[in-house]
C-alpha cells in the first residue's frame, strides 16, 4: 500500500513582541560603516559539516559567533581552528544560560536536533537546525507544542534552497510570474556516500531518519515554496537499499509524489553519485509553469562547467542562461531580522513545520522495495 496523508499549515505564527532586553542592547539596523553585530549566537553540536554554512549565513546577516560546544574533541578541534573568534565551552548550559546569546545553531546527530531545539526554546532562545531538523512525528508534535508556548523561532536551514544562489534567483523569477502559474516541481537530490568518511550514525535510520526524511527534506521545502502550497499530501513514496546490504536499515534510493493546494511535485533522492563527478552531487530543480519553465543546475553543469549556480529560463521569447554567482542569499540576514523583530521573513514557522511533516509522512508511509 502507498501511504497518503493530508497536512495543514494553520495556526503556527510566531510571536509579535521582541524581547525588550535584546532591542535595548543591540542595534537592529546598524548605520552604514558600523561593525557592531546585531545579535550574538552560539553553536551546540557539530556532527555534520553543514554547520560551517550555517555559521556563515548568520555571520553574514549580522551575527557575532561567540561560543560553541561539541562532545567530540576530534570535531571540536578543527572546528575551533576554522572559527577562532568563538570560544569553546565544556557544557551546553554555558550557552543556553548565557543571556547575551540570542540564537543557537546546531548540526548535532539528526535524531538529537529536536530535543536540543526544545531545550533552546525553553531557555528563551531562537534555534536554527541543520536539516533534517526533526526525525519523527512524535518529535514534531512536541516541537510544535513548545514553539507555540514559547513563541521562539525554530528554523531549519534547507540549504538546497536557502544557501544556493541559483535557487534563490529561480524563486525570485517564479514569484514574479516569469513562467506563469507554477504547476509542478521536480527535485533531484543525488549524493555521494564516501563510506570510509561516514560516522556510525549515518547508517542508522533511527539516527538520521531515513532518506526521505533526511535529504528529502530539501525537496519538500522547495515544492512547498515554489508552488506556494499551504496544505499538502503525500500521494506515493518508496525507498530501497540497493548497494549496502551490510547496513540493512540504510536506504540509498527514495522517491515520492506530492500534491498541494498550489501544485504538485516529484522528489527523487539517491546515494549513487559516482567518484568521477567533480562534486558531491548533481542536484537539480525543475519548476514547470503555465508559460515556461526554469531548470536550476545547482552544483555542476556537465555541458558547461564544473562550478555551480546555473539557471536556465525557457519562455515564449526563447531560452535564457543565467550565471547566478553573486546573487544574494538573504536567509541569514532575514533570520537575524526575525530574531530582533519577532517576524517571519526568513521562513514562516508554518512552512518550516509543513516541509518537515511532508518528509516524515513520506518516510513513514513509503513502500520498501526489496532487492
- Out of 157, 182, 199, a domain closes at 157
DSSP label at residue 238: E
DSSP label at residue 37: -
- What number of residues does the chain have? 371
Asked if residue 254 and residue 107 are part of one domain, the reply reads no
Q: 107 pLDDT exceeds 60? A: yes
User: What confidence score (pLDDT) does residue 4 get?
Assistant: 38
Q: Render pLDDT for 35-80 as a digit per residue (tens, 0 to 9).
A: 479 999 999 999 999 999 999 999 999 999 999 999 999 999 999 9
Q: Render pLDDT for 293-337 as a digit per residue (tens, 0 to 9).
A: 999 999 999 988 788 999 999 999 999 999 999 999 999 999 999
Beta bridge partners of 313: 294, 320
CA 43 – CA 27 distance, rounded (Å): 22
Asked if residue 204 and residue 108 are part of one domain, the reply reads no
Q: Render pLDDT for 203-234 as a digit per residue (tens, 0 to 9).
A: 999 999 999 999 999 999 999 999 999 999 99
Asked if residue 168 and residue 142 are part of one domain, the reply reads no
- Out of 157, 179, 196, a domain closes at 157
Q: Count the domains in the chain.
A: 2
Q: Render pLDDT for 20-35 as a digit per residue (tens, 0 to 9).
A: 333 333 434 443 333 4
Q: What's 102's domain CATH number?
A: 3.40.50.720
Asked if residue 178 and residue 144 are part of one domain, the reply reads no
Across 163-188, average pLDDT: 98
Q: Which domain holds residue 56?
A: 5-157
Across 357-368, average pLDDT: 98
Q: 98 pLDDT exceeds 90? A: yes
User: What confidence score (pLDDT) does residue 364 get?
Assistant: 98
Q: What's 188's domain CATH number?
A: 3.30.360.10
Across 91-101, average pLDDT: 98
Residues 89, 93, 98: CA angle, nearest 5 degrees: 85
- Single out the residue of 42, 47, 112, 113 nearest to residue 83, CA to CA: 42
Question: Model pTM?
Answer: 0.91
Asked if residue 187 and residue 284 are part of one domain, the reply reads yes
Asked if residue 219 and residue 153 are part of one domain, the reply reads no
Beta bridge partners of 259: 233, 264
Residues 220, 223, 227: CA angle, nearest 5 degrees: 150
Q: Render pLDDT for 238-265 as a digit per residue (tens, 0 to 9).
A: 999 999 999 999 999 999 999 999 999 9
User: What confidence score (pLDDT) does residue 27 get?
Assistant: 37
Asked if residue 128 and residue 40 are part of one domain, the reply reads yes
Q: Torsion over CA of 41, 36, 328 and 116, rounded to 10 degrees? A: 10
Asked if residue 179 and residue 103 are part of one domain, the reply reads no
Amino acid at each position: 500500500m502507498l501511504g497518503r496523508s493530508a497536512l495543514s499549515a494553520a495556526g503556527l505564527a510566531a510571536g509579535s513582541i521582541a524581547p525588550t532586553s535584546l532591542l535595548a542592547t543591540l542595534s537592529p539596523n546598524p548605520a552604514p560603516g558600523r561593525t557592531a553585530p546585531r545579535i550574538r549566537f552560539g553553536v551546540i553540536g557539530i556532527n555534520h559539516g553543514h554547520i560551517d554554512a550555517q555559521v556563515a549565513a548568520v555571520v553574514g546577516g549580522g551575527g557575532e559567533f561567540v561560543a560553541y560546544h561539541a562532545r567530540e574533541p576530534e570535531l571540536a578541534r578543527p572546528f575551533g581552528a576554522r572559527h577562532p573568534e568563538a570560544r569553546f565551552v565544556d557544557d551546553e548550559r554555558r550557552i543556553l544560560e548565557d543571556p547575551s546569546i540570542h540564537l543557537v545553531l546546531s548540526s548535532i546527530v539528526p535524531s538529537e536536533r529536536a530535543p536540543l531545539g526544545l531545550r533552546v526554546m525553553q531557555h528563551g532562545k531562537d534555534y536554527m537546525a541543520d536539516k533534517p531538523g526533526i526525525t519523527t512525528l512524535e518529535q514534531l508534535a512536541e516541537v510544535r507544542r513548545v514553539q507555540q508556548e514559547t513563541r521562539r523561532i525554530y528554523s531549519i536551514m534547507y540549504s538546497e534552497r536557502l544557501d544556493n544562489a541559483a535557487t534563490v534567483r529561480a524563486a525570485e523569477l517564479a514569484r514574479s510570474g516569469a513562467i506563469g502559474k507554477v504547476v509542478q516541481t521536480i527535485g533531484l537530490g543525488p549524493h555521494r556516500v564516501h563510506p570510509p568518511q561516514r560516522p556510525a550514525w549515518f547508517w542508522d535510520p533511527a539516527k538520521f531518519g531515513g532518506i526521505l526524511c533526511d535529504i528529502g527534506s530539501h525537496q519538500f521545502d522547495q515544492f512547498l515554496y515554489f508552488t506556494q502550497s499551504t496544505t499538502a499530501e503525500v500521494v506515493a513514496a518508496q525507498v530501497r537499499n540497493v548497494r549496502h546490504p551490510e547496513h540493512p536499515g540504510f536506504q540509498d534510493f527514495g522517491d515520492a509524489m506530492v500534491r498541494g493546494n498550489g501544485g504538485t511535485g516529484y522528489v527523487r533522492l539517491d546515494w549513487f553519485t559516482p567518484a568521477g563527478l567533480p562534486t558531491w552531487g548533481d542536484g537539480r530543480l525543475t519548476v514547470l509553469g503555465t508559460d515556461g519553465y526554469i531548470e536550476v543546475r545547482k552544483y555542476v553543469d556537465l555541458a558547461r562547467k564544473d562550478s555551480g549556480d546555473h539557471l536556465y529560463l525557457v519562455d515564449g521569447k526563447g531560452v535564457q542562461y543565467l550565471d547566478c554567482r553573486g546573487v544574494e542569499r538573504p536567509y541569514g540576514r532575514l533570520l537575524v531580522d526575525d530574531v530582533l523583530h519577532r517576524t517571519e521573513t526568513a521562513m514562516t514557522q508554518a512552512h518550516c513545520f509543513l516541509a518537515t511533516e511532508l518528509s516524515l509522512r513520506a518516510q513513514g508511509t513509503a513502500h520498501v522495495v526489496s532487492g
